């Protein structure tokens, strides 16, 4: 048996043992293991950060919605945010800029 297969079978045995142990104790059946919660926590953090980011974008866009005097400022705002996201926030490995685009509705 290869080492990889041995480790995989050991992990399955530990998982089964943990499930059986939790099934024996009614207090533990409603809980999840910490290693199962980590992806949920990371997903929550990503969603919260995304909500904050899009709320900031929406607040910024509210300043430049109407009037011809705001169209140029709105375009500059969009270009500035897009440039910052692609060159500072979402920079790819090696310094290559990202390909993020400002989220506009289809009619804008």
103 pLDDT band, cuts 50/70/90, is confident
List helix spans (H) across 1-108: 3-24, 34-62, 68-84
pLDDT, residue 107, reads 60
What mean pLDDT comes out for the span 23-37?
65
CA pair distance 83, 88, nearest whole angstrom: 8
| Tokens found for residue 19 | 């499930």
Q: Which residue has the higher pLDDT, 34 or 49?
A: 49
Query: Residue 106: is its pLDDT beyond 70?
Result: no
Q: How far is CA 108 from the centre of its chain?
A: 26
């Amino acid at each position: 048996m290869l080492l990889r297969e041995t480790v995989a079978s050991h992990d399955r045995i530990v998982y089964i043992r943990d499930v059986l142990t939790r099934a024996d104790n009614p207090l533990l059946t409603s809980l999840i293991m910490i290693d199962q919660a980590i992806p949920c926590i990371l997903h929550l953090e990503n969603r919260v950060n995304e909500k904050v980011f899009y709320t900031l974008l929406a607040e910024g866009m509210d300043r430049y919605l109407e009037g011809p005097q705001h169209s140029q400022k709105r375009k500059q705002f969009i270009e500035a945010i897009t440039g910052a996201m692609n060159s500072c926030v979402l920079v790819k490995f090696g310094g290559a800029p990202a390909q993020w685009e400002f989220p506009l509705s289809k009619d804008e």
